[in-house]
Structure 1
């Protein structure tokens, strides 16, 4: 079986088949389902593809992912895959007593590399504040974001936390919320020209620190890997931090080394054809620029693409090429690959977002922009530069 045997994306095919096995109790409640590695080998696909399938199963609450242990079938008798989660569906939220406060959360998507920590932080804060959290995903599609805002307002939520969809223009529905002074907090990025409270990482400083870390290892020919910026402030700030680090060290920025058109990791563009196209793009780029000794991936999934591309060339990470990125799932008991990364304080970000929207609901003022520091976590993907690397 290969990734091209069906018009349906392979991650959906894997999702469908594992879901069917769960529903027919081939895998019973509490039993472990195949890992990313095992699914990748069985279906002859990349681990990025099998990872996406497991994330979809977790999002449907069919499985519970436990770092270092694996993925397990959720307990159908309770109807809750994880007893600690306090996230309601819209149908359940309609049953909430009218006196309870309800906050809507609109997020592009979430997974073990980024997003889950945000939700944990918000859930805990909502539990402490005795309010309910209603979740809707948009998968990075602006139209879904518009509909989610409209539906949650119709549901009667008292406030909204929005992780804006990536796009060149902010959603008109968000502007309407700002004009109405509706309690609103933006997460992960701020929108230019929109006076809405936001909470994010200090992306500029984090990118600067990560780049300086590579400089300290002797790297000066660094390829910056990202999706198109499209006016997304998180991406723009990381680019600015990368450039500022070069300026501070007196190193010339060579944009010929950059790859800034990777799209396969965006929620609305995730499919096996796009993954393979991006991998081919990276392989060709590395072959054309043999001076590159390090790759700065703007996010974890791009780091996975970069590692795969390096290995396709018969090179090693980090002996031949180092890789640094933002965020990386925790590894326990030898599970997964530990990238050197900038770890964002997701749970704190989520907690502050929930507390700030509750403060706005109570008529209190909050900072217009809150930025949290990210922490550099050394891993296995970076090492001193080697000048005798040959492609």
Structure 2
């Protein structure tokens, strides 16, 4: 047990311990819980790590975050007057068992890597609303991006007797055997956020290629032509692959040569099973060295919000200004009114609509109706404070 606990990411450990303190009434209803800085100091971690833990607590409605004041233990009756129709188990581990559901209700299992203010919470809200509207029950399990947790979670859902499944596949090269079994057995299944190549399963995601194309064109319109694309290794993950394709297509349409030497595509600290201070520091140092070695870069296109945070830290360490010296654009960004968020220019995915369609499509499959094999929703460009006109080179 101790080995398993020690292998958990620090943000999950902080989440678990604060959650336990809330359950045990160490923190009373309405009482302030430790801040990002206080948790970072107490656990000797970065504020990115403590922030993620607080985001997870807020996503599970255990706390409410009040701008300028802090985070407080939530009162379900006043902070969240609308009841939750979902039973949430905290992860793919066996430490908690989902409640037994009413057999007369349609039950949908949701297996998701993780969620936070920047991405994922909106998906769950959309699913919850659709579940309420359709009088069905939603059971949630998190996998933290670990394929073995994903397999166990799917098996657990099936043992509970769920009528259908929505799966946010774990990041990695392979889709697990349990998903393949579901497809072969024609079990009601909808994949969310990405599709799996070669697997005939219905999916709901953003139109990642078009979104990346629009974001890149926005940078071109600001005069940026030396743009560094920042991502984790694509490893056959369609969402990342599609964003890379959109980035390349935007260059082709403008007649601008793609220089992959400007890219950094080996960032791993934001992956669910690699999120720790050592990896974060390694990635930031990697970006610092990259920007120092290629001073012609004027803009960074981060494939996700947490990578944009790494990029922002790297730029600031070099004493460069955002956006005067370097612009940053990314996918998704927490609403700044929630507190603590930086207003990046970003492509905002329609998460709640994705969640709603996923639930409605899996219910349609349950009822024997055909659904589109792939649904891709538009993402909107939201201008923020992180982008501006390209800096003109000084005469040497």
For the 8 Å contact 1:225–1:302, the answer to whether it is kept is yes
- The alpha carbon displacement at 1:86 in A equals 2.0
Pair 120,389 (structure 1): closer, same or farther in 2 beyond 3 Å:
farther
Aligned counterparts, 1:282-297, within 5 A: 282-297=287-302
1:97 aligns with 2:99: no
Listed one character per residue, the Cα deviations across residues 153-210 of structure 1 (whole Å, up to 9, x for unaligned) are 0110000000000111111111110110000000011001100000000000000000
Aligned partner (choices 347, 364, 367) of residue 362 of structure 1: 367
Aligned counterparts, 1:28-47, within 5 A: 28-36=28-36, 39-40=39-40, 45-47=45-47
Q: Name whichever of 117-126 and 62-71 sits farther off.
A: 62-71
Secondary structure of the residue that 1:176 maps to in structure 2? helix
Aligned partner (choices 318, 342, 346) of residue 313 of structure 1: 318
Aligned counterparts, 1:227-266, within 5 A: 227-266=232-271
For the 8 Å contact 2:67–2:338, the answer to whether it is kept is no
For the 8 Å contact 2:230–2:265, the answer to whether it is kept is yes
Which whole-Å CA distance do the structure 1 matches of 2:129 and 2:270 have between them?
A: 29
Pair 97,185 (structure 1): closer, same or farther in 2 beyond 3 Å:
same
Q: Name whichever of 356-365 and 32-41 sits farther off.
A: 32-41
Could you say which residue in structure 2 is the equivalent of 1:52?
A: 52
Could you say which residue in structure 2 is the equivalent of 1:371?
A: 376
Which whole-Å CA distance do the structure 2 matches of 1:82 and 1:168 have between them?
A: 42
TM-score, normalised on structure 2? Answer: 0.89
Which whole-Å CA distance do the structure 2 matches of 1:293 and 1:316 have between them?
A: 11
Aligned counterparts, 1:1-391, within 5 A: 11=11, 14-15=14-15, 18-19=18-19, 22=22, 25=25, 27-36=27-36, 39-40=39-40, 45-58=45-58, 62-65=62-65, 70-75=70-75, 83-89=82-88, 91=97, 93-94=99-100, 96-332=101-337, 335-388=340-393
Unaligned runs of 5+ in 2: 1-5, 90-96
For the 8 Å contact 2:123–2:355, the answer to whether it is kept is yes
Listed one character per residue, the Cα deviations across residues 313-348 of structure 1 (whole Å, up to 9, x for unaligned) are 111111110000000000128752100000000000
- The alpha carbon displacement at 1:87 in A equals 1.4
Q: Name whichever of 58-67 and 44-53 sits farther off.
A: 58-67
Pair 192,50 (structure 1): closer, same or farther in 2 beyond 3 Å:
same
Unaligned runs of 5+ in 1: 1-5
Listed one character per residue, the Cα deviations across residues 265-297 of structure 1 (whole Å, up to 9, x for unaligned) are 000111111001001100011101100000000
Which whole-Å CA distance do the structure 1 matches of 2:200 and 2:41 have between them?
A: 49
Pair 149,328 (structure 1): closer, same or farther in 2 beyond 3 Å:
same
Pair 352,19 (structure 1): closer, same or farther in 2 beyond 3 Å:
closer
Which whole-Å CA distance do the structure 2 matches of 1:370 and 1:101 have between them?
A: 23
For the 8 Å contact 2:123–2:354, the answer to whether it is kept is yes
Which whole-Å CA distance do the structure 2 matches of 1:207 and 1:192 have between them?
A: 20
- The alpha carbon displacement at 1:81 in A equals 7.5
For the 8 Å contact 1:340–1:377, the answer to whether it is kept is yes
Which whole-Å CA distance do the structure 2 matches of 1:333 and 1:110 have between them?
A: 16
Secondary structure of the residue that 2:336 maps to in structure 1? coil
- The alpha carbon displacement at 1:64 in A equals 3.5
Pair 334,162 (structure 1): closer, same or farther in 2 beyond 3 Å:
closer
- The alpha carbon displacement at 1:49 in A equals 1.6
Which whole-Å CA distance do the structure 2 matches of 1:260 and 1:328 have between them?
A: 20
- The alignment of Structure 1 onto Structure 2 pairs a total of residues equal to 382
Could you say which residue in structure 1 is the equivalent of 2:93?
A: none
For the 8 Å contact 2:56–2:115, the answer to whether it is kept is no
Which whole-Å CA distance do the structure 2 matches of 1:285 and 1:125 have between them?
A: 45
Could you say which residue in structure 1 is the equivalent of 2:92?
A: none
- The alpha carbon displacement at 1:56 in A equals 4.1
Q: What is the RMSD computed on CA atoms of the aligned residues? A: 2.6
Which whole-Å CA distance do the structure 2 matches of 1:267 and 1:47 have between them?
A: 16
Secondary structure of the residue that 1:213 maps to in structure 2? helix
For the 8 Å contact 1:68–1:333, the answer to whether it is kept is no
For the 8 Å contact 1:121–1:348, the answer to whether it is kept is yes
- The alpha carbon displacement at 1:70 in A equals 4.3
TM-score, normalised on structure 1? Answer: 0.90
- The alpha carbon displacement at 1:97 in A equals 2.4
